[in-house]
Each structure stands twice: as structure tokens, then as C-alpha cells.
């Protein structure tokens, strides 16, 4: 008996018992033959058949349960053969399970549901993603950075912020664009940044038209100018920490205070900052070669991190933290004593050195 037939027999149990006794076996037999016939004509025909059968069953059950049947009320008038003792069609028999079995089944179902929910929750909070920036290019509509795997990280015009604080990342090549919401709640910036990177791999095939995505996800017309730099300043953990007054500029005073600020990001107090502590999302505990490359690529991709990590070993050491102010001043291209978005935002076309 195929899985579909078993399912069909299960649905037949929704019919009244006398209806099942009269027609159940016949219906299953007809279903089995019609099902085989439909699938022999291709998967599409098979799928349409299944949908039609489902709808027909729902309608049939409704009808059988709401109308009075004289034929079923007087089975003697019909020529239904007597049961011959050979139980060929168990699932359509009128069978009621024991109460204890129902109780055990309920407990088992609850346990399974709890396990699945817990696993889902764990998965959400412990994402395993390796960020691997690869090549980069400018498509004109948006600056797109291929992650080296199957996703895209888009900056520039493709990243917008909505009035409610949600960050929308528009992915892919125009006009095939995907949009992701990343909630930037207070106190969850690191998680938001992690999410932003995580979606690149998990949801790379989302497809929306860019204006529709911008309007539906960010609530802003696509034609409106959007301050993308502000989004980057909020989402990137190191810059968010450096820009203490959140004015979108790392001022001279904030540059001077960089050493103290960076020390606050050292969560494990080992005196240095790893890619994870700088906002990179990597596989926990993994030390594979590809993960190391991903960490290095992450540290080199963001100009601020690349400047701080002077020896480009993928970590900001204690000495480099101590030298942070000097390193940051090297990014001040116009020598005005402060760092603006133009000096800090990643340049997708030219990987930071």
C-alpha cells in the first residue's frame, strides 16, 4: 500500500461509519487505480490529481455528514455483500482506539512538538555561518559583493533603514532582487549584524522586485534618498562603539578614545579582538582552514578593521589596540581630523588592504 493510499484511507475515516462501510473499500480501489493512471502521465498531472482528490474528499465528507441517506439507512435493500472474514481494508473499518492509547499518543505528540520547537529555537540562536567575502563589483543599481558561496552582500543603494528601525538588505542583481528584514532593536546590534551576514547564505534565492521590496519591507518609496551610511554605522559593531555619540562621524575625540572603546569589545578579556568580537559571524569552535580564511576576509573587508589589524593576521592584538588612534587617523584621507562615512564604508570594488 503506497503512502498516498494510506493517507487517503486515513481521510476516509472522516466519513460516517455507515458510508465507509458501504463505499470505503470501493473508493480506495478507485483512488488507487486513478492515482496510478494520473502519475503515469507525469508529476504535474499527479499533483493536480492529488489536489482534486483532496478537495473532492472535503466536499464529499461535508455532504455525507449533512444529508440523510436512505440507501445507507436500509442496507438490506442494497446488494452489499456480507463480510467474508478477510480483513482486506483495515483502515476504513470502524475502529476506536483505547483511551490509554489516546493519552499516550497525546503525550508523545506534545513531547515531539516540544523537541522540534526547542531544536528550532536553538538553531535560531546558534547559527552556523561562515562569512566568506569574495569578489566584488558595482552593478550600477547597487554595489554587490559576492560572498564566495551562494549569497550576496549588498551595500550602497541596496541597504535601507525603515522608520521603525528595521534594516532591510536588498540582495541580488537588479531587477531580480531579494529583501531581508533585520531587526535592529536596542541592545541587539551584534545579533542584527550576525543576522545580516547569516541571511546571505540561508536566503540567497529570495526574489522580489526592488521597488516593491523597498516599499513593503522598509515602508519607504524606492525613489526616496536613504542614508545608507547611518545604517552601516549602526549595524557594524566596532564602528557603532567608536561613534559614541551616534552622529555618523567618528570625531577626533572619539578617535583618541578608540583604545578604551575597543577594550570594551574584548568580551573574553584576553587582551585582543577576534573577528567574532568585531562582528564576524563564524562557526563556533571551528578552526578549519576555510573558517580562518573567512575571518581574515572579514577583517580585511571593513576598512576600519583592516586599519586596526595592522599585521593582517585576522586579529586586533593588544599592541594594535594600543595603537588604535594612530591606525584610525591613517584612514582620514582629507586630514580633517575625523572619519566620515566616505572614509569608513567598505569599497566593494577594491578590497581593503
Residues within the interface to another protein (CB under 8 A): 19, 22-23, 25-31, 33-34, 52-53, 55-61, 63-64, 67, 69-72, 78-81, 84, 88-89
CB of 59 to another protein, least distance (A): 6
Which CB, 18 or 146, lies closer to another protein? 18
CB closer to another protein out of 63 and 110:
63
Instruction: Please report, for the chain, how many H helices and E strands are present, in that order.
Output: 17, 6
**CB closer to another protein out of 7 and 64:** 64
**Cis preceding linkage at 175, omega within 30:** yes
Residue with cell 538588505: 169
Q: Which is nearer to another protein, 34 or 176 (CB)?
A: 34
Q: Taking a C-beta distance cutoff of 8 angstroms, is the pair 210, 170 a contact?
A: yes
Q: Round to whole Å and give the CA distance between 57 and 79.
A: 24
Shortest spacing between CB 117 and another protein, in angstroms: 34
Sheet architecture: strand order including 152-155:
136-138, 143-146, 152-155
Cβ nearer to another protein, comparing 57 with 230:
57
DSSP 214: I
Q: How far is the CB of 81 from another protein (least distance, A)?
A: 6
- Are 302 and 352 spatial neighbours (Cβ–Cβ below 8 Å)? yes
Q: Terminus-to-terminus CA distance in the chain, angstroms?
A: 64
Nearest distance in Å: CB 55, another protein: 7
We find the least distance from the C-beta atom of residue 33 to another protein, in angstroms, to be 5
**What gap in Å lies between CA 13 and CA 240, rounded to an integer?**
61
The CB-of-97 to another protein minimum distance in angstroms stands at 25
Question: 28 to each of 2, 57, 275, how far by Cα in Å?
Answer: 11, 12, 61
State the nearest-atom distance from the C-beta of 195 to another protein, in Å. Answer: 45
Tell me whether residue 81 or residue 225 sits nearer to another protein (CB atom): 81
C-alpha 135, offset from chain centre: 24
For another protein, the closer CB: 61 or 220? 61
Distance (Å, rounded) from C-alpha 60 to C-alpha 64?
6
Residues whose CB is less than 8 angstroms from the CB of residue 164 and which lie 6 or more positions away in sequence, other chains included: 219
Amino acid at each position: 500500500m503506497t503512502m498516498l493510499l494510506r493517507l487517503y484511507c486515513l481521510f476516509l475515516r472522516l466519513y460516517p461509519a455507515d458510508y465507509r462501510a458501504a463505499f470505503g473499500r470501493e473508493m480506495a480501489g478507485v483512488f488507487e487505480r486513478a492515482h496510478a493512471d494520473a502519475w503515469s502521465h507525469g508529476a504535474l498531472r499527479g499533483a493536480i490529481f492529488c489536489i482534486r482528490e483532496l478537495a473532492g474528499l472535503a466536499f464529499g465528507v461535508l455532504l455525507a455528514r449533512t444529508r440523510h441517506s436512505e440507501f445507507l439507512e436500509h442496507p438490506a435493500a442494497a446488494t452489499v455483500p456480507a463480510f467474508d472474514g478477510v480483513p482486506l481494508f483495515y483502515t476504513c473499518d470502524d475502529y476506536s482506539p483505547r483511551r490509554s492509547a489516546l493519552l499516550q499518543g497525546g503525550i508523545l505528540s506534545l513531547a515531539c512538538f516540544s523537541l522540534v520547537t526547542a531544536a528550532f529555537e536553538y538553531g535560531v540562536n546558534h547559527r552556523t555561518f561562515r562569512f566568506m567575502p569574495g569578489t566584488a563589483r558595482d552593478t550600477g543599481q547597487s554595489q554587490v559583493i559576492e560572498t564566495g558561496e551562494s549569497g550576496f552582500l549588498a551595500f550602497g543603494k541596496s541597504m535601507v533603514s525603515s522608520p521603525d528601525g528595521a534594516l532591510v538588505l536588498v540582495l541580488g542583481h537588479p531587477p531580480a532582487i531579494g529583501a531581508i528584514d533585520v531587526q535592529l532593536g536596542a541592545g541587539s546590534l551584534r545579533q542584527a549584524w550576525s543576522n545580516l551576514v547569516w541571511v546571505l547564505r540561508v536566503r540567497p534565492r529570495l526574489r522580489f522586485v526592488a521597488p516593491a521590496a523597498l516599499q513593503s519591507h522598509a515602508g519607504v518609496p524606492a525613489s526616496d534618498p536613504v542614508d545608507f551610511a547611518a545604517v552601516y554605522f549602526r549595524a557594524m559593531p566596532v564602528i557603532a562603539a567608536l561613534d559614541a555619540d551616534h552622529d555618523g562621524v567618528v570625531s577626533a575625540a572619539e578617535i583618541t578614545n578608540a583604545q578604551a572603546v575597543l577594550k570594551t569589545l574584548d568580551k573574553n578579556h584576553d587582551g585582543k579582538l577576534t573577528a567574532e568580537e568585531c562582528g564576524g559571524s563564524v562557526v563556533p569552535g571551528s578552526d578549519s582552514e576555510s573558517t580562518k580564511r573567512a575571518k581574515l576576509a572579514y577583517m580585511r573587508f571593513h576598512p576600519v578593521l583592516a586599519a586596526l589589524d595592522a599585521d593582517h593576521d585576522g586579529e586586533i592584538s593588544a599592541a594594535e589596540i594600543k595603537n588604535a588612534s594612530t591606525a584610525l587617523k591613517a584612514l582620514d584621507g582629507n586630514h580633517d581630523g575625523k572619519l566620515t562615512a566616505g572614509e569608513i564604508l567598505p569599497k566593494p570594488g577594491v578590497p581593503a588592504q
